[in-house]
Amino acid sequence: MKKLIAGNWKMNGSLAANAALLQGILPGVTAQACDVAVCVPAVYLAQGQALLADSPLALGAQDLSARESGAYTGEISAAMLRDFGVRYAIVGHSERRQYHGETDAVVAEKAQRALAAGITPIVCIGETLAEREAGSTEDVVKRQLAAVIHLNGHCISEIVVAYEPVWAIGTGKTATPEQAQAVHAVLRAQLQAASTQADRIRILYGGSMNATNAASLLAQADIDGGLIGGASLKAADFLSIIDAAS
Ligand code: PEP
């Protein structure tokens, strides 16, 4: 299946820095064999929409509200994201689970809101170091994914899953290709039990993926792309990862 490389800019950038970064990336993504997206801070969606118009680079958001509309100060709805041409939205990133108390149930609701608005949710799941060391990696990721399947089973083939071991995010410690593949295979089996179309659901790996390690991770049978944090902020590194996926 066509791989997906999605950049997660997190809370980085400025009007000037974003323009420079996209100017560095865009010439390199003319005829890629993979899909590419950048998930930008919400205040820069209008800039992203303008700069990415008619380009093969898709626009993504980093979060969305679990609510449809109304008295939820500070929140941004799925419909608002659609207004700006957003195609993907990260939901349940470990930083939102950790710092904003997002539960499995809230993450599932956010995925549902995205799907209802025609936005592909990139559902992030992954274990902490303590959970891995306690031998509960499989239980944790299956529980996290089960909540999303439970609420969205009828359209589960429309989601993207991102397996992001928390201990590998922003730490420079990458899961080995074998460690990542082992978890991806578990997730694939769980999706297969829920959907006849599970083989077309992309399961991305995320966690310190970079220009050096991308090819070996992306060569694994059930790794269908990457969610890239730090390395998506440097055009040359991001383009190398895109090349490895193409
Ligand atoms: C992420 O935040 O989704 C991520 C994978 O970050 P990094 O690539 O910096 O580890």
Instruction: Name the pTM for this structure.
Output: 0.97
Nearest CA to ligand 1 atom 3: 229
Give the pLDDT score at 10. 98
Q: Which of 109, 131, 164, 184 is catalytic?
A: 164
**C-alpha triplet 110, 116, 120: angle, nearest 5°:** 70
- 164 classed as catalytic: yes
**C-alpha triplet 12, 13, 18: angle, nearest 5°:** 140
How many A from CA of 134 to the centre of ligand 1? Answer: 23
* Number of neighbours of residue 33 by Cβ within 10 angstroms: 10
Burial class of 101 by CB neighbour count within 10 A (0 to 12, 13 to 18, 19+): exposed
- 158 classed as catalytic: no
Residue partners of 21: CB distance under 8 A and separation at least 6? 13, 233, 235
Is the separation of the CB atoms in 113 and 104 below 8 Å?
no
Which residues are bridge partners to 205 per DSSP?
A: 163, 226
Indicate the DSSP class of residue 127: -
Give the pLDDT score at 30. 81
Give the pLDDT score at 21. 98
Give the closest residue to 164 by CA, choosing from 74, 102, 91, 236.
Answer: 91
Burial class of 95 by CB neighbour count within 10 A (0 to 12, 13 to 18, 19+): buried
How many A from CA of 123 to the centre of ligand 1? Answer: 14
Please report the beta strands in the chain, taking only residues with DSSP state E, as ranges in sequence order: 4-8, 35-39, 57-61, 88-91, 120-125, 160-163, 203-206, 225-228
Nearest CA to ligand 1 atom 8: 229
Q: What is the mean pLDDT of residues 191-216?
A: 96
89 touches ligand 1 (CB under 6 Å): no
Please identify, by atom number, the ligand 1 atom nearest to the C-alpha of residue 208: 10
Handedness of CA 25, 26, 27, 33 (dihedral sign): positive
Quickly state the pLDDT bin for 173 (edges 50, 70, 90): confident
Nearest CA to ligand 1 atom 4: 229
Domain segments of the chain: what residues?
A: 4-245
Class (C level, CATH) for 4-245? alpha beta
Six-digit token pair at 160?
């993207």
pLDDT per residue as tens digits for the range 42-69: 999 999 999 999 999 999 999 999 999 9
Distance CA 229, CA 179 (A): 20
pLDDT per residue as tens digits for the range 76-107: 999 999 999 999 999 999 999 999 999 999 99
* pLDDT above 80 for 129: yes
